[in-house]
């Protein structure tokens, strides 16, 4: 398998972390949705990352669809998303909050780095900032033990961890020390895992506004 995308995208990163956790071997092509747009269009007409090229040449797009395939490949006993019941619903709610937070942080980054100053709409930025803050507060109110669904890491932890890494990289003022102690502990636990370490963005993968064009 070949993972397409740069690790400054939290959606690419959550796929990479999941691949590592599940022990599924893969190579990576760190294409940029900006610098490599033409090549990306050949993989995904939307020019978005991540994409996953399977061994038979099939191309999967959208991180949720890719993660579903990875869980199916790994089997129900090793899958990172519970197959059914209350745990699955809880995980999906947490993931929705985390991916929503990524979207709102990305919108702010977009305004800062891609839109000319005279065209920025501050009421929109403030709305996104408020939505991001509420999502972070809701997630901080959870009680990991030690992980969000209990003793075993799940896709909920992976996605929240990837979100926190992205927000800290792009919008660090949204995560001041001490404001979200539960999330700080969870982030530290995630970033200490070899799977997260292996998927940290390199020096060439931290261009401004990496979010637009990811999923």
The verdict on 11 and 109 lying in the same domain is no
Total number of domains in the chain: 2
Residue 96 is assigned to a structural domain of this protein: yes
Report pLDDT for 120.
87
Look up the domain containing 100 and give its range.
Answer: 85-197
> Tens place of pLDDT for every residue, the chain, 215 residues?
999 999 999 999 999 999 999 999 999 999 999 889 999 999 999 999 999 999 999 999 999 999 999 999 999 999 999 999 999 999 999 999 999 999 999 999 989 888 888 888 899 999 999 999 999 999 999 998 999 999 999 999 999 999 999 999 999 999 999 999 999 999 999 999 999 999 999 887 765 544 444 55
Q: Based on the domain organization, do 75 and 90 belong to the same domain?
A: no
Are 61 and 9 within one domain? yes
Q: Which residues of 121-150 are buried (b: 16+ CB within 10 A; e: fewer)?
A: eeeebeebbebbeebbeebeebebeebbbe
Return the pLDDT at 117: 87
Which CATH number characterizes residue 35's domain? 3.40.30.10
Please tell me the predicted confidence (pLDDT) of residue 209: 41
- Counting beta carbons within 10 angstroms of the beta carbon of residue 68, is it exposed (0 to 12), middle (13 to 18) or buried (19 or more)? middle
Residue 34 has a pLDDT of 87
- DSSP letter assigned to residue 46: T
- In terms of domains, do 61 and 43 share one? yes
Torsion of CA 28, 147, 182, 85, to 10 degrees: 100
Query: How far lies 43's CA from each of 19, 38, 70, 213, in Å?
Result: 20, 9, 19, 13
Is residue 206 in some structural domain?
Answer: no
Residue-wise DSSP of 89-134: HHHHHHHHHHHHHHHHHHHHHHHHHTS-GGG--HHHHHHHHHHHHH
Alpha-carbon span 3 to 14, nearest angstrom: 11
pLDDT at residue 214 in the model: 54
Q: What is the pTM of this model?
A: 0.94
**pLDDT for residue 213:** 40
pLDDT of residue 212: 43
The encoded tokens of residue 98 equal 């985390």
128 and 24, same structural domain? no
Q: Is residue 94 located within the same domain as residue 191?
A: yes
Residue with the two structure tokens 């092509």:
29
The Cα–Cα gap between 170 and 177 comes to 16
> What is the C-alpha to C-alpha distance for residues 142 and 132, in angstroms, rounded to an integer?
16
* Residue 210 resides in a domain: no
Q: Are residues 89 and 152 in the same domain?
A: yes
Judgement on whether residues 36 and 57 belong to the same structural domain of the protein: yes
Is residue 134 in a domain? Answer: yes
Q: What is the DSSP letter of 41?
A: H
63 shares its domain with 145: no
Q: What is the CATH number of the domain that holds 187?
A: 1.20.1050.10
Query: In 10 A of CB 195, how many CB atoms?
Result: 18
Structural domain includes residue 211: no
- Choose one of 27, 58, 79: the last residue of a domain: 79
Q: Are residues 147 and 193 in the same domain?
A: yes
Is residue 207 one of the residues assigned to a domain? no
Residues 30, 123: one domain?
no
In this structure, the answer to whether residues 66 and 113 fall within a common structural domain is: no
């Amino acid at each position: 398998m070949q993972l397409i995308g740069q690790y400054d995208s939290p959606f690419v990163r959550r796929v990479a972390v999941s691949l590592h956790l599940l022990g599924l071997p893969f190579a990576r092509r760190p294409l940029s949705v900006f610098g490599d747009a033409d090549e990306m269009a050949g993989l995904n007409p939307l020019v978005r990352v991540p994409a996953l090229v399977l061994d038979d040449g099939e191309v999967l797009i959208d991180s949720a669809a890719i993660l579903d395939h990875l869980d199916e490949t790994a089997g129900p006993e090793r899958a990172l998303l519970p197959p059914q019941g209350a745990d699955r619903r809880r995980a999906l709610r947490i993931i929705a909050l985390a991916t929503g937070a990524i979207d709102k942080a990305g919108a702010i980054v977009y305004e800062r780095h891609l839109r000319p100053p005279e065209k920025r709409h501050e009421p929109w930025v403030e709305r996104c900032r408020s939505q991001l803050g509420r999502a972070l507060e809701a997630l901080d109110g959870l009680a990991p033990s030690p992980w969000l669904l209990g003793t075993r890491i799940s896709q909920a932890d992976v996605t929240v961890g990837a979100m926190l890494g992205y927000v800290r990289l792009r919008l660090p003022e949204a995560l001041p020390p001490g404001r979200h102690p539960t999330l700080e502990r969870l982030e530290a636990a995630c970033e200490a895992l070899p799977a997260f370490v292996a998927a940290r963005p390199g020096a060439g993968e931290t261009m401004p506004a990496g979010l637009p064009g990811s999923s």
